[in-house]
Structure 1
Amino acid sequence: MNRKRTPRVDTLEAVANVLRAYRELFEGNLIKALYYVDKALELEPDFYLALFLKGLALSAKGEIKEAITTFEELLSYESKNPITWVFVGQLYGMSGNCDEALKCYNKALGIENRFLSAFLLKTICLEFLGEYDELLKCYNEVLTYTPNFVPMWVKKAEILRKLGRYEDALLCLNRALELKPHDKNALYLKGVLLKRMGKFREALECFKKLIDELNVKWIDAIRHAVSLMLALDDLKDAERYINIGLEIRKDDVALWYFKGELYERLGKLDEALKCYEKVIELQPHYIKALLSKARIYERQGNIEAAIEYYNKAVENIHKDHGE
């Protein structure tokens, strides 16, 4: 005997299928999850949770366009959920459409103006689009709600640095370091900024703190520290940092060049030549190394070799610039 279908029976069966879909989605069985969610939607086409799970399953499968269509269908029934807008925005972002993603995040923030996830995703879009003035406004708004959010102070400083507003950037970094004195990103960026501002000793202190006190062995931080030590004629520490860096990355061109410069200053010209040769071996078009070799040969009276390397430097000018 066939069981009579009623709206209540359909609703209960749709709920049961959604629960099955949720279980399959949780276990990573995406095709089964989509099967059950479609069964639910056959019974209840405007079932919000079913549409939401379908969007999640499709996005997990990498079917971004279809996932966007599903979430937009959900929004046509219920457009006041900021979480759904954020999901759609992320999908647009994944598809490379930052303009549409930005509209979605603004929709979410129009519903819930302190939705931190929407703010953070919005800042990623604005940075990608190069909308720096708008991005700074967004950072300022977030910081009015979460004034102790250290990563936001650091990101704000990074954008201000890009805009050439070094003093303002420094204020942001100092605020970040007041809140978290050992924040690695803030210390690194402060060192880079102070170096750009010509405050070499202050910059070096930042990198020393990172490398010696906090044991942060970022190769970029080591390069910056070495270049500052050479500029300040701190040759002993420069050699130690170069060796630390080369233990991490034996083929680092910049560190081998710095090592050649160090030996040249110490009068160890043959050792310097070996370092510059290593640079050229790793990067044949490195003009500064070619010129340095030419200079040393000239100092040693080997004019023929000096001319050879001066000529090589001239020949490689365009190659060194990627032309």
Structure 2
Amino acid sequence: MAKMAKMANTLKDLDRSAEENYGKARVFFKMGKYEEALAAYGKATDAWKKIADLLFEKGKEDSGKESLEKVLEGRSCCGMSLFKLGRYEEALEIVDTILEVKPDSPTEWSNRGFVLSALGRNEESLEAFEKALSLDPASPKILTSKGVVYFRMGLLEKALETFDKALASEPKQASDWACKLPRFSFFSRNKAPIMRPDNAETWYWKGNLFMELGEREKALDAYEHALESDPDHLNSLFRGGGLLCEIGEYKEAYKCYARTLKLSPGNEAAKQGKELCEAKINE
């Protein structure tokens, strides 16, 4: 009885440690503190691994397998933290290790595509995204990621086609939808909260593509759509502000730069853009 009670307490302590560290890691990751996130994800993963070992030792196979699933999830998060830190080879090693165990995971194939693209291995990256799409054919996020690779390769027609497919795809998960209250007169005329797909990233890259083609009006429209989906989409705020500045819409550009600086206080380019807008408005 004493041994069973001791084991139960050990499992409880380990589980609490894992959950606390995992929660901290998610917060660190969202804040862009990737070193801290990596350390916390590592601690959570280690705790889950100890739990799995204890459960298997006691013959609790099903519970042990559940803990191993959490180990893989933690390892995947470690891989993405390494990716954000620019430690691409280490990230790729983790992704490939997970794929050996979970070869039918669209998430891990998509992660592999991200890392390979960062390494400049674009053809292999496209293959990884194709594999991810074979497992989840209508994923807007995977389609967008594939389109970004085409864009970086200079294959603009294929990129545009892929972005349009992503925008036409119906989101499947609640996290793919967003209820937003528009904040900017230029970016939305609708003043009521609206439910729309969270496709800001797709519209942002579509805007970049139109900029590459020299089609500024279409680019501005794309950035507007991005900000209607997510009014805090930092890159769209900045690029939209720059484009509005170019066409002399200084008041709207000022709003973009001011919001950019609120989200990213150290952004020198946004600071300069805001100061330029202030000068033009006061002329």
Q: TM-score range by the shorter chain?
A: 0.5 to 0.7
CA drift at 1:123: 3.1
253, 268, 280: which one pairs with 1:276? 253
CA drift at 1:182: 0.8
| 2:243 corresponds to | 261
SS in 2 for 1:211: helix
106, 122, 125: which one pairs with 2:78? 125
CA drift at 1:240: 3.9
| 2:29 corresponds to | none
Counterpart of 1:214, as a letter, is E
Question: Is there any run of 5+ residues in structure 1 with no aligned partner, and where?
Answer: 1-43, 58-66, 69-86, 295-304, 310-323
SS in 2 for 1:46: helix
Q: CA RMSD in A?
A: 4.3
Q: Give the whole-Å Cα distance in 1 for the aligned partners of 2:250 and 2:94.
A: 52
In the alignment of these two chains, the number of paired residues is 221
Counterpart of 2:252, as a letter, is C
| 1:160 corresponds to | 116
Q: Is the 8 A contact 1:173 1:190 kept in 2?
A: yes
Counterpart of 1:278, as a letter, is K
Cα shift readout 1:280-305 (whole Å, capped 9, x = no counterpart): 454575267469869xxxxxxxxxx7
Distance 1:142 1:217, change over 3 A: closer
* Bigger Rg, which one: 1
- The residue correspondences of 1:1-323 to structure 2 (distance < 5 A) are 44-47=1-4, 50-55=5-10, 67-68=13-14, 87=15, 90=18, 93-94=21-22, 96=39, 115-128=68-81, 132-214=88-170, 216-235=197-216, 237-249=218-230, 254-255=236-237, 257-258=239-240, 261=243, 264=246, 269-270=247-248, 272-282=249-259, 286=270, 289=273
Question: Is there any run of 5+ residues in structure 2 with no aligned partner, and where?
Answer: 25-38, 172-196, 262-267
Q: Give the whole-Å Cα distance in 2 for the aligned partners of 1:195 and 1:117.
A: 35
Distance 1:54 1:207, change over 3 A: same
Which structure exhibits the higher relative contact order, with contacts defined as CA atoms closer than 8 Å and separated by 6 or more residues?
2
Q: Give the whole-Å Cα distance in 2 for the aligned partners of 1:189 and 1:234.
A: 22
Cα shift readout 1:46-80 (whole Å, capped 9, x = no counterpart): 01xx34543565xxxxxxxxx14xxxxxxxxxxxx
Q: Report the TM-score when normalising by structure 1.
A: 0.52
Distance 1:230 1:212, change over 3 A: farther
